[in-house]
Structures are given as structure tokens and as C-alpha cells.
Amino acid sequence: MLLRDIIEELELTVLCGNEFLDRDVLRGYSSDLMSDVIAHGEKGDVWLTMQIHMNVVAVAAMKEASAVILSNGRRPPEDVIQKAVEEDVVFLTSDLPTFEIAGRIHRLGVAGV
């Protein structure tokens, strides 16, 4: 499934990375622990989290995530968004809670682990 399809279906807001919306989403992953994502995240994941600090950019770039979806209306500081732009990381946000986002993405046919 293409990232742009998930964005449209869930009415997500793109914070950065508009040029990468044709990325394939291979599966979903939800965690707020960086060490967990490092250990278990995979290339092509759409990563759901509430974390909004610089380490999210580093982990998303390292794991080659398709995108990071921030739940509960979270929005990172401008310096974090700028670093995401530099690292080609897509940041999306939604006012929905993480559980609701995960369920909706799963219903679209994106599997988890």
C-alpha cells in the first residue's frame, strides 16, 4: 500500500516529506521505546509513536521507515522537523489516539509483525 493512500484514508496531516508519499508501506509498527524500534522495526514500516524528539528522526532514518505517524495531535519542534527534512523522514500527525490509528491502518490491509 502506498503511504499517500493511508494519508488520504486516515486524513493525516503531512508535516514534512511531501515528496516521499509514494513510498510503499510494508507493515505497521507501534512503539514509544526507541530501543524497541531499533530491535524490531523494519524497512518500510509506518511507525506510530507519541515521541517528538530528535531521536525519532535518527531511528526512523536508520530503520528506513516509510513514515512516522504522531498520534494525539503531537507535533515536533521545528528543529526536529528540519532534521527530518534533511534525513528524508516523513512526519505525519493525527488527532486520533495511537490505538485508533493502528486499527484503521490494519483495516486497510497493512499487517503488523
The DSSP H or E segment spanning 15 is strand 13-16
CA 73/CA 46 separation, integer angstroms: 17
pTM: 0.96
CA 2/CA 5 separation, integer angstroms: 5
CA distance to 28, 29, 34, 55, 60, per residue, from 38 (Å) = 14, 11, 6, 11, 9
The CATH fold of domain 3-107: 3.40.1390
Contact 68, 89 (CB under 8 A): yes
**pLDDT tens digits in sequence order for the chain, 113 residues long:** 999 999 999 999 999 999 999 999 999 999 999 999 999 999 999 999 999 999 999 999 999 999 999 999 999 999 999 999 999 999 999 999 999 999 999 999 999 87
